[in-house]
């Protein structure tokens, strides 16, 4: 695998890394310490772009979006076979007949490490891993669009993962993910129908593949590190020109201190006395006051 030199510690980073490897790389940066659960949270809140490594071949179909870049939903066909084969288990349980609309050809991606938008069922898989890393109960429902299945993205395009199988295989697969009452309901309905279970179709994938892994591409991790490890901007002690002019005017037109305006170090002691009287214990700088008065004086306008 081709590697490149990465950052000032002269470490090398492969084209993609696992979550634990990402945590180790981040921890090589000075003054930074993160855990795997931190990485999952960075991803969940949109600070780090996550990718999926499909170890087995996967087929995709482009998801239709409207002019506002929102995924378009369509109703499933009004028959029990279509609903059972194409709707997500959550939709079947809730009698929700909507699914994501797709368009174009079914394709094999050129690469099998693909970014994810984390808006479909892949988001549930991420939340499960976060919960496991923290020792928390797994999510009951999860934060995802239940109509969309497993989604990946390539630039502005979003694709849905699909499986090619017989209707009979699909029906068995779907029934396994339903509670007993719903499973019995559909089994009873199916027993009264003459279903061609040998016909093959492409069906949306609603469960994260067992041999797929979440990974982080080198480019995405480098982008995150660039923002994450940027040195904090030091606050400036310099007083702005408008504020310097206001300070000069305030000193000039205050009868008790106007005579000291050209002697800033003597004037500093007056400010310190005022500060102490008002409970301010900060040490005041004569050099700062001198520069401010010089900057605000009319001769510099």
Tens digits of residue pLDDT in 180-200: 999 999 999 888 888 788 889
pLDDT of 5 over the 60 cut: no
54 and 101 housed in the same domain: yes
174 and 246 housed in the same domain: no
* Structural domain harbouring 139: 4-228
Give 90-152 as a DSSP string: HHHHHT--EEE-EEEEEE--S-SEEE--S-STHHHHHHHHHHHHHT-PPPSS-SS-TTT-SEE
Give the helix, strand, coil percentages of the chain, each rounded to 5. 40, 20, 40
Indicate whether 26 belongs to any domain: yes
pLDDT (mean) for 224-230? 79
Indicate whether 272 belongs to any domain: yes
pTM of the model: 0.71
20 and 114 housed in the same domain: yes
As for how many domains the chain has, the answer is: 2
Q: Which one is predicted more confidently, 122 or 300?
A: 122
Q: At a CB cut-off of 8 Å and minimum separation 6, what does 87 contact? A: 76, 96, 97, 99
Write down the pLDDT at residue 236.
58
pLDDT of 238 over the 70 cut: no
- Residue at a domain's end among 228, 256, 283: 228
pLDDT of 1 over the 50 cut: no
276 and 156 housed in the same domain: no
Indicate whether 201 belongs to any domain: yes
* Tokens encoding 232: 């904090």
Q: Please compute Rg for the chain using Cα positions.
A: 32
Tens digits of residue pLDDT in 250-259: 888 888 888 8
Tens digits of residue pLDDT in 163-174: 999 999 999 999
């Amino acid at each position: 695998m081709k590697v490149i030199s990465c950052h000032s510690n002269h470490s090398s980073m492969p084209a993609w890394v696992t979550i634990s490897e990402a945590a180790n790389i981040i921890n090589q940066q000075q003054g930074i310490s993160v855990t795997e659960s931190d990485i999952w949270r960075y991803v969940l809140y949109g600070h780090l772009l996550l990718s999926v490594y499909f170890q087995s071949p996967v087929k995709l179909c482009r998801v239709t979006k409207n002019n506002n870049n929102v995924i378009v939903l369509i109703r499933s066909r009004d028959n029990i076979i279509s609903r059972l084969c194409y709707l997500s288990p959550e939709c079947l349980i809730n009698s929700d007949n909507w699914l994501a609309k797709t368009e174009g050809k079914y394709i094999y991606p050129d690469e099998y490490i693909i970014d994810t938008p984390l808006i479909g069922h892949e988001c549930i898989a991420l939340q499960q891993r976060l919960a496991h890393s923290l020792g928390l109960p797994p999510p009951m429902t999860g934060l995802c669009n239940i109509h969309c299945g497993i989604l990946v993205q390539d630039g502005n395009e979003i694709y849905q993962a699909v499986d090619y199988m017989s209707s009979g295989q699909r029906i068995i697969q779907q029934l396994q993910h339903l509670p007993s009452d719903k499973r019995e309901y559909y089994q009873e309905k199916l027993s009264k129908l003459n279903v061609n279970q040998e016909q093959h179709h492409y069906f949306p994938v609603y469960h994260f593949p067992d041999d797929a892994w979440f990974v982080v591409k080198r480019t995405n991790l480098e982008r995150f590190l660039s923002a994450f490890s940027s040195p904090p901007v030091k606050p400036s002690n310099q007083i702005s020109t408008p504020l310097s002019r206001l300070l000069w005017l305030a000193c000039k037109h205050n009868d008790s201190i106007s005579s000291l305006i050209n002697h800033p170090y003597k004037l500093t002691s007056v400010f310190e006395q005022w500060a102490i009287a008002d409970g301010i214990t900060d040490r005041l700088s004569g050099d700062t006051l001198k520069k401010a008065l010089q900057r605000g004086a009319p001769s510099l306008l």
